Structure 1
Amino acid sequence: MSQKDKLLKLADENNGILLSKQVTEQGFSRSTIKSLVCDGLLEPIQRGIYVTKNGYADDFFLLGQKFKNGIFSHETALYLLGFSDRTPIQITMTFEHGNSTTRIKNEGVRPVMISNDFLLGRTTIVRNGLTIRVYSIERTLVDLLKPRYEADYEQLIPALKQYAAYDKKDVNKLFRYARQFGVEKQIRNYMGVLL
């Protein structure tokens, strides 16, 4: 099997997506990617990301690759976690203070900057066969209730109701996060009615 065939097989195993990083890690030459692009078998869709004719990379995956230091959060996380059926009008990602927001905003992403507990509640989901970084539902609900964030209550209230009926909910974690971020009273008010 030639290097080209091996790379195409690798792409097929990854939903038709090939990352330059994977090519290097597997010990292949990057010139093989250029050759596959010239042959029309791969198409560059973003720096370091290539897709086959049958491959598919959605915007969430591409933004996650472009902004590796960000985590999908707030209403975007509700959607990705299945707690909202409304596709976000604007994608929201959380970043640690110190990141420049100019490039992020130019991509149409709403950046939320925080200085503490950036990694708390971070998890990954698999969407269309691709791994995406997102906050857990407990962290997301707490983030939406923070006073400095103007949450969309038309999405928040149904998400809280769905969470109350969710068989994998971790109420202890929810209250621990709420206490840590100073929104325990709000969580107690909502959950006291729903549970």
Structure 2
Amino acid sequence: MTQVEKVLRFANQNDGIITTKELKKLGVGRWVLQDLERLEKLFPVQRGIYVTKNGYADDFFLLQQRYPKGIFSHETALYLLGYSDRVPIQIVMTFKQGTSTTRMKADNIRPVTISKNEQYEMGIIEAKRPGGTLVKVYEIERVLAELLKPKYDADFEQVIPAFKRYATDKEKDVNKLFRYARMFGVEEKVRNYMGVLL
């Protein structure tokens, strides 16, 4: 198998996407990308990310690649998890405190920073995007609790319907929701919302 075939085979098995990081793992030189680009077999969509003719890399996947330490959260997570039908006007991502956020404004990202490492890492799951790519997002119980934090200015036109949808979800874990509520100091608010809906 030639290096060109190796790259195309990998890309086709990976929803039509290959990154320069993955190329390195395959032990293939970057010149192969240039050849495939010239042959119009691969197309650059962002620095370090290429797709085949049938490949598709959506905006959320591209942002995740650009900011790999960011976790989609808050209203953006509601949308990605199917708890809101509104496409986010501004993308909300959570980062560890100390992450440089200056260039994120150009990408329409509202960065939220967390100082405690265990809070940053807790509840990360993956959401599947059209085309089959995966992005990191916080689980719904964490998202609902975080949206009620006093220092976060949440869009309550999205929060209330999300709580209603959660209340009817067969997969909901109310105990987990209250664990997050305690962690973020919003137990009373969550109790009020869930008391009305359950």
- Residues 50-79 of structure 1: CA deviation (Å, up to 9, x unaligned): 011221100000000000010000000000
How many aligned residue pairs are there? 195
Report SS of the residue matched to 1:93. strand
Q: Does 1:154 align with 2:157?
A: yes
Give me the whole-angstrom Cα distance separating, in 2, the residues matched to 1:108 and 1:90.
6
User: By how many angstroms is 1:6 displaced?
Assistant: 2.1
| Aligned partner letter, 2:155 | D
The CA RMSD over aligned residues, in Å, is 1.0
Q: Does 1:122 align with 2:111?
A: no
Greater CA drift, 130-139 or 117-126: 117-126
User: Equivalent residue for 2:194?
Assistant: 191
Q: How does 1:96-107 map to 2 (within 5 A)?
A: 96-107=96-107
Report SS of the residue matched to 1:94. strand
Report SS of the residue matched to 2:15. coil
Runs (5+) with no aligned partner, structure 2 = none
Q: Does 1:73 align with 2:76?
A: no
What percentage of aligned pairs have identical amino acids?
Answer: 58
Give me the whole-angstrom Cα distance separating, in 1, the residues matched to 2:61 and 2:168.
29
TM-score when scaled to structure 1?
A: 0.97
User: Equivalent residue for 1:53?
Assistant: 53
User: By how many angstroms is 1:135 displaced?
Assistant: 0.4
The one of 117, 141, 145 aligned to 1:142: 145
Give me the whole-angstrom Cα distance separating, in 1, the residues matched to 2:145 and 2:92.
15
| Aligned partner letter, 2:102 | T
Give me the whole-angstrom Cα distance separating, in 2, the residues matched to 1:104 and 1:154.
25
TM-score when scaled to structure 2?
A: 0.95
Greater CA drift, 6-15 or 162-171: 6-15
- Residues 22-70 of structure 1: CA deviation (Å, up to 9, x unaligned): 1111222222112111222111111210011221100000000000010
Give me the whole-angstrom Cα distance separating, in 1, the residues matched to 2:18 and 2:100.
28
Report SS of the residue matched to 2:122. coil
